[in-house]
Each structure stands twice: as C-alpha cells, then as structure tokens.
Amino acid sequence: MSAPSNDTGAGASDRAAALASQRESERAAFNASRAAAAASAAAPAALDARFSGSTSAAAEADALFRRRTVGLVTQEEYAAAQEAAAALEVELKSAGGGGGGGGGGGAARRWPGARGAAAPAPAVAGVKRMAPTLSFEGEEEEGGGGEGGGGGAAAASAAARRGGPRKDPTVATSFLPDAEREAREASVRAAARAEWAALQDRIRGEPLAITYSYWDGTGHRREATVQKGATIGRFLEAARADLAKEFPELRATSASALMYVKEDLILPPGLTFYELIQTGARGKSGPLFVFDVRDDVRLSHDARVEREDSHPGKVVDKRWYEKNKHQFPYNRWELFNVGKGGGGAAPAPYTIK
C-alpha cells in the first residue's frame, strides 16, 4: 500500500517543477518583450527631447502674450506684452539648454506689431531686380549676341536704355482712339462740307429760264428768268409784273392770288426750283425739273413711256380756277405733296388761299 503513494508524490513534484520552469520562461519572454517595447518608445522620445525646449518655450511665450493682450489694451501695454513674451522665450530656452541655434531663434522672434521687426531677407548676391520691359524691335539681333542668358539680359538692358516698352509697328491700331487722327478727319469733313455748301450756293445763283403759259381758258406763252434758288412765289411775282403790261386785270392783283401748275400739280409758293431739280421730282405727266419749251408729248408719243419731255407750266388766277375746277382737265389738278413728289419728309399738302 505504501509504494503507490510514493509514485503519486513523485509525479506531482515533477509536474510542479515543469510548471515552475514554464512560468519562468514565460516571465523571461514577457520581460524581454517589455524591454523591447520600452526601447522602441524611448527612441522617438529622445528625438523629441532635442526640440522640446524651443517648442515649449515658444508655446509658453505665446500663451503669456495672449493672456496680457486680451481685450482692449493701450499701445504701451501691447508693447510691454511683446517684450515680456520675448524675454520669457529667451529665458526658457537658455534654462533648457537649447544651445546656440535655439537661443538665436528665440531672440529673432517677433509678435504682430512688435517694434524692431526683423528686416526682410537680403537679395541673392549678384541678382539685380529690373523693371519689366517689352520690346519687339531688334529682338533677334539683341538676343542672339550672347550665349545662354547673356542675350536676354542684353536685350532687357537695351530696352531699358530706350526708355521702357515699345509698340510693334506692324500691329494695326486704326481701331484704337486717336485724337490726332480724329482731328484730321474732322478737319477733312469740315472742308468737304464747306466745299459742298459753296457749290450748292453757286448752283442756286445760276439763272434759270422758265417758259410758262398764262391760262385764262386759252394759253398765252411767256418766258421769265429767275435764279435756281428762287421760290415759286418769287417767280409768280416776276410773271405777274410781266403779264400786267398786257392783261389789265392783273395790275391790281398780287402774286398770292396766282398759282403755278406744272404737270397737273399745283406747286406751293414756298417751294424752290433748286429743290425740284435736286430731288428729280416728277408729276403726273412728266418731270417737274424741266422748264424749257416742249410740245405736249401726249400728242406725238406714247404716254405710257416715261420721257424727259414736258410741257410748260401754267400761271392761273385762283378765282378763275375756283370757277372752273370741276371741268376737264382742271379737275385732274392736285396739290403737290413734297413727301410724294420730292422724296423728302411729307408735310401737310399746300392749300390754295
């Protein structure tokens, strides 16, 4: 009965020893992994420690500056806060062993509006800032003289010596405003208008022979000479003065009591012969701008064919016309409308008074 108990105790001790050995190996592995993790975490911490001094110093200085400038502050308080923040940053960096590089950076730090702000970085040695120039003249000759960038610098300096940008002479600029060109064009237009007006005045002063017929039921052909610029009323006055020598009833009559009928149209006294000639006005049976002697074209030619031939106009007493206007051919006579016959604006038709 004692032997089995010895075997059982020996097996239990062996298992306990195996478990203890396993726990020791596991503890050793755990300690090794923890040491490796601590070593890996210590590497970046050591790297951050190199910059922690300057970073924390700047952060504390900024915090001090913000605390002392909260709300409305005077200019003196604002400047004092800037100086205190700068002094605190330098002190913290010096105490933390920031070295020459960190201390130099803190001394050069400035806050918004700080007095004695750092000056801008100096320009690179040997590089000169030049005003931009633009030139299209001689670009190939000047640019090809040197090698590399030498030709471009020579072109820029040459453009600068000429006084700045230049205009390309081959570019069309007629569409751009030009005071000198507009002044020249206005002068040419004014001269042309003056020349045209002088020519028209000369034409108006030319004599015009008018063949007419005083009509009182029968024709009495006469001729009067007036200027082309004369009005119908002035022509009627000249005709009345000439007819009064032969017809006594016209001696006590004024020119306003007469009317002039041309191509079955009664012409107003304010119309000029010049206007009829210039506009090429036409009547029912022929042109209104022809005043020489012609036979009645309807007797020897086809009236449907437009011709320059015309018959003389008629000078008629208005009282005689009022008595006979219902008869042919007087019932065909109509008042002349400048807009229809002369091509101008259409005023109110002339009325017989």
pLDDT one-digit tens code per residue, 56-85: 788 888 988 988 888 888 888 999 999 998
164 Cβ contact list (under 8 Å, min separation 6): 131, 133
Q: What is the pLDDT of residue 321?
A: 92
Using alpha carbons, list the distances in angstroms from residue 31 to 19, 20, 23, 36: 18, 16, 12, 9
Domains of the chain: residue spans and CATH: 18-107 (no CATH), 203-342 (3.10.20.90)
pLDDT one-digit tens code per residue, 280-292: 888 887 788 888 7
Give the residue ranges of DSSP H helices in the chain.
2-68, 75-95, 99-107, 139-143, 150-161, 179-204, 232-243, 273-279, 297-300, 318-324
Q: Whole-angstrom Cα distance, residue 5 to residue 319?
A: 176
What does the block give as tokens for 169? 């002479």
Share of the chain above pLDDT 90, in %: 23
Predicted TM-score (pTM) of this structure: 0.44
Using alpha carbons, list the distances in angstroms from residue 45 to 56, 183, 240, 332: 15, 83, 130, 123
User: Among residues 156, 133, 152, which one has the least CA distance to residue 144?
Assistant: 152
User: Among residues 103, 101, 105, which one has the least CA distance to residue 118?
Assistant: 105
Q: Is the pLDDT of residue 35 over 90?
A: no
Dihedral angle at the C-alpha atoms of 75, 77, 80, 86, nearest 10 degrees?
Answer: -90
pLDDT one-digit tens code per residue, 291-321: 876 554 444 555 555 455 567 889 999 999 9
Q: Whole-angstrom Cα distance, residue 231 to residue 239?
A: 13
Selection from 36-45, 68-77, 109-118, 160-169 with the highest mean pLDDT: 68-77
Rg (CA), the chain: 59
